[in-house]
Amino acid sequence: MKEISRDSLSESLQRDLVLVEEALSTSYCPHSGLCVAAGLILDSGELITGVNYESASYGLTQCAERNAISRAQAENKVEQVQGLLLSACYQNNDHDSPPLTPCGACRQWLSELSDRIGRDFVVYSFWKSGRNGLTGSARELLPQAFL
C-alpha cells in the first residue's frame, strides 16, 4: 500500500470518508477500545457501512470489513462494489501512527470478493481525521490468496 493524502481524494470520496468516520460511533469495542468502520462504495455511489463488534472470546469478534460485505450481500448489492474506505480511532485518544490495514481474515474476504466480481478494487485506510492514509487494492493486500 502507498501513502495518500485525504486532500487528494475526490470530493465524493471525502464525503464518503466522513460518513464512514461518523459510523465509528456505533462500533462496539469494549475490549480493545479500537473502533473500526468500513464503507463499501457501490457503482451507484451508495455507501454500505459496517463496524467492528467485539466479543470477550476474541475469535468471535466481527470486523468492520466483513460486516460491510455481509450487509452488501444481504442487500443483494455485493456485485456492485467499486471500493472500500476504512477508518479507525481509539475510544480514549487520537492516534498518529500509520493507518490500520485489514486483518488476514478480511484480506481473504476482500480477495475472494474481488475474484467473485471479476475485478480488483481500491482500498483506502485512514485514522479518523488523519491527514494521510494508505491506498492499495484488494488483490494487492493478499497476493497469494487461497481461492
Q: Tell me the β-bridge partners of 37.
A: 51, 87
Active site residue 65: yes
Q: Looking up cell 488483490, which residue turns up?
A: 139
| CB neighbour burial string for 93-103, b if at least 16 within 10 angstroms, e if fewer | eeeeeebbebe
CA dist 35 and 47 (Å) reads: 19
Rounded CA-CA distance 79/14 in Å is 23
Helix residue spans in 49-130 (DSSP H)? 64-74, 104-117
Question: Which residues are bridge partners to 125 per DSSP?
Answer: 86, 134
Max Cα–Cα distance, the chain, nearest Å: 41
Q: Which amino acid is at 68?
A: A
Identify the active-site residue in 11, 22, 65, 75.
65
Which residues participate in catalysis according to the annotation?
Answer: 65
